[in-house]
């Protein structure tokens, strides 16, 4: 009975021992080459696909060369339904260093060539120094000799002086060249150190244990999320003339700091959140309230935004990216609740150097209405605005736009989608062919004192001229002051039919001008205040200038 128990125990131990498992387990060593990337605004999903011959029993898949920025919790494996996934694990592989890249080899070759030049220069310096030493010794010996005539002594002295001068000049040239090569050597060594730090870092390794009942051949796909990668929108807006369509080129600035280069990779850009949970959404009450806009309701104050190329108020966070020592700036933008995705048809190569690379997304030709906008009190130029409808279907993300008008770069604008409904306004910059002038009429302006009050009258003439060959519509804005003191009285005398906002003091003229036409407007107001006080009517700006 004891012998039978021992035999059963031994059989059981053999059945569960690692050696017993290993007999029916096939190992597949796989290089995790990046093939497809779904890039989010912050983060990316990496995909690897391999076609494998799986044998009956257990198959161990070992994916090596994976980014150390991988989120182990996000690992997913997709395979034939007949395949059972028994376990997925990951670890850091410190032994599998990145192989020398072409950039590293190029820097190493340049460094080796520089070292050879330094050695050759040092050899020349040594040779000239030896010759100079021999020359000095011969000079001393020559000084001890007798029987030389004055002519011979002079000839010897001339030779020594001439040759010494040649040697000294050559040594000076060699020292200058040595300094240059030493500086180049230092730069190459620092560059090589930076490249080794970024390329020769640890790699992750993913191990997947599969089970199949019978042999089969088919694809398996490994997917996971990585950090320190993403994209930001960048737009090019091209307009040939105010009676033509707008060409909007949707681009993306892609960056990769995952530690793994993306070579010839297929991209999909997404505005989604890769960190969403798997929990079902909870529909809560939808309460309405007044919108809290970042912009003033006053069109006069909005104009100042156009003067600054419609740059939005940004919430900026700076942080240091591990492994780079560089600060990276993040900007908060608003996106729609349902994410948008863009499949990029052309493969791109994006090195893991944390630098931005442009990717073409899509191009749109958009019908638009054009309107000019001028606030001559703040700026002497008129600004051209394009008003686009149906923009919601374009899946635009807030971002900077480079503006080109009539083939010329005119500046930066900003595609702002928050607080916008059916019309999207884009600033196309200054239009030099629409002239606006604002002149103070001295003959109609005055200052007089009656009793204890001072009354100042200010009169201005605003002239608008259309030098374009097509009609234009212009919003012309100005303002009259508003009193916030009971002792200060403001009287509006003339506004040439402008729409007057009594609350803000804003004046609004809607002007339609035919080609070559011009119009003028008068603005006159009077201010009465105590004579012993001073009121500042003109706004001043602080500018820097050099002091001599």
Query: Over the stretch 347-402, which tens digit does the pLDDT of each residue have?
Result: 999 998 888 998 888 888 888 888 999 999 988 899 888 888 777 777 788 888 88
Q: How far is CA 255 from the centre of its chain?
A: 8
509 pLDDT more than 90: yes
Q: Which pLDDT value is given to residue 376?
A: 93
**What integer pLDDT is reported at residue 148 of this predicted model?**
65
Of 546 and 76, the structure prediction assigns the larger pLDDT to: 76
Residue 419, both tokens: 């607080």
Please provide the average confidence, as pLDDT, over all residues in the chain.
Answer: 79
pLDDT (mean) for 21-35: 77
Residues 6+ apart with CB under 8 A from 77: 85, 88, 208, 220, 221, 222, 223
493 in a domain, yes or no? yes
Predicted confidence at residue 435, as pLDDT, reads 94
- Judge whether residue 13 has pLDDT over 70: no
Q: Pick from 150, 182, 199: which residue ends a domain?
A: 199
Residue 397: CB atoms within 10 Å = 21
Question: Average of pLDDT values for 193-207?
Answer: 72
Look at 24 and 95; give whichever has higher pLDDT.
24
Average pLDDT over every residue of 219-230? 92
User: Which of 31-35, 202-206, 281-285 comes out lowest in average pLDDT?
Assistant: 281-285
Question: Which of 83-92, 279-288, 473-482 is the least confident region?
Answer: 279-288
Q: Residue 328: is its pLDDT beyond 50?
A: no
Residue 186 lies in a domain: yes
Higher pLDDT, 373 or 202: 373
The count of structural domains within the chain is 2
On whether residue 153 sits in a domain, the answer given is yes
- Asked if 61 and 212 count as a contact pair (C-beta separation under 8 A), the reply is no
Q: Please state, in angstroms and rounded to a whole number, the distance separating the CA atoms of residues 269 and 255.
A: 12
Q: Are 300 and 375 in contact (CB under 8 A)?
A: yes
Residue 218 covered by a domain: no
Q: How far is CA 138 from CA 124, 132, 165, 170, 221, in A?
A: 21, 10, 16, 20, 82
Question: Which of these three, 149, 165, 199, is where a domain ends?
Answer: 199
Beta strands 341-343 and 423-440 are: unpaired
Asked, for residue 269, whether it belongs to a domain, the answer is no
Whether 516 maps to a domain, the answer reads: yes
Q: Is residue 132 part of a domain?
A: yes
**pLDDT surpassing 50 at residue 23:** no
Percent of the chain with pLDDT over 90: 28
SS3 129: helix
Between residues 23 and 518, which one has the greater pLDDT? 518
- 166, 199, 232: which is the final residue of a domain? 199
In a domain, 468, yes or no: yes
What are phi and psi for residue 190, nearest 5 degrees?
-65, -40
Structure tokens at 415: 């595609």
What domain range is 155 assigned to?
Answer: 102-199
């Amino acid at each position: 009975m004891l012998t039978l128990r021992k035999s059963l125990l031994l059989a059981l131990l053999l059945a569960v021992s690692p050696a017993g498992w290993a007999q029916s387990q096939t190992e597949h060593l796989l290089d995790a080459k990046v093939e497809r990337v779904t890039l989010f605004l912050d983060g990316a999903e990496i995909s690897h696909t391999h076609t494998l011959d799986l044998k009956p029993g257990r198959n161990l898949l070992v994916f090596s060369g994976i980014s150390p920025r991988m989120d182990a919790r996000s690992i997913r494996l997709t395979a034939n339904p007949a395949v059972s996934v028994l376990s997925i694990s990951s670890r850091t592989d410190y032994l599998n260093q990145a192989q020398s890249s072409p950039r590293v080899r190029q820097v190493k070759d340049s460094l080796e060539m520089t070292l050879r030049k330094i050695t050759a220069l040092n050899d020349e310096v040594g040779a000239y120094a030896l010759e100079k030493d021999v020359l000095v010794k011969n000079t001393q010996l020559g000084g001890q000799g007798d029987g030389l005539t004055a002519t011979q002594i002079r000839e010897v002295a001339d030779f020594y002086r001439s040759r010494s001068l040649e040697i000294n000049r050559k040594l000076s040239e060699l020292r200058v060249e040595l300094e240059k090569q030493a500086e180049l050597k230092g730069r190459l060594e620092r560059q090589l150190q930076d490249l080794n730090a970024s390329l020769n870092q640890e790699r992750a390794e993913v191990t997947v244990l599969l089970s199949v009942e019978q042999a089969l051949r088919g694809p398996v796909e490994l997917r996971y999320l990585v950090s320190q990668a993403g994209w930001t929108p960048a737009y090019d807006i091209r307009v040939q003339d105010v009676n033509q369509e707008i060409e909007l080129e949707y681009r993306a600035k892609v960056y990769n700091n995952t530690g793994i280069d993306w070579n010839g990779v297929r991209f999909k850009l997404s505005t989604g959140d890769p960190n969403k949970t798997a929990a079902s959404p909870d529909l809560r009450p939808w309460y309405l309230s007044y919108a809290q806009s970042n912009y003033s309701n006053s069109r006069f104050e909005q104009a100042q935004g156009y003067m600054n190329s419609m740059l939005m108020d940004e919430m900026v966070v700076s942080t240091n990216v591990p492994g780079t020592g560089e600060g990276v700036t993040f900007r908060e933008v608003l996106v729609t609740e349902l994410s948008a995705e863009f499949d990029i048809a052309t493969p791109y190569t994006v090195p893991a150097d944390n630098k931005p690379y442009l990717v073409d997304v899509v191009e749109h030709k958009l019908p638009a209405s054009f309107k000019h906008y001028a606030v001559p009190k703040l700026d002497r130029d008129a600004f051209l605005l394009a008003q686009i409808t149906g923009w919601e279907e374009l899946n635009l993300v807030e971002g900077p736009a480079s503006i080109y008008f009539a083939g010329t770069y005119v500046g930066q604008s900003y595609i702002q989608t928050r607080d916008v409904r059916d019309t999207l306004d884009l600033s196309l910059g200054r239009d030099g062919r629409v002239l606006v002038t604002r002149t103070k009429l001295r003959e109609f302006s005055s200052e007089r004192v009656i009793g204890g009050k001072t009354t100042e009258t200010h009169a201005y003439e605003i002239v608008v001229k259309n030098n374009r060959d097509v009609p234009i519509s212009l919003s012309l804005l100005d303002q009259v002051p508003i009193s916030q003191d009971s002792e200060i009285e403001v009287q509006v005398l003339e506004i040439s039919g402008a729409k007057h906002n009594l609350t803000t003091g804003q004046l609004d003229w809607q002007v339609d001008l035919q080609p070559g036409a011009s119009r003028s407007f008068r603005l006159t107001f009077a201010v009465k205040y105590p004579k012993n006080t001073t009121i500042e009517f003109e706004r001043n700006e602080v500018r820097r200038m050099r002091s001599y």
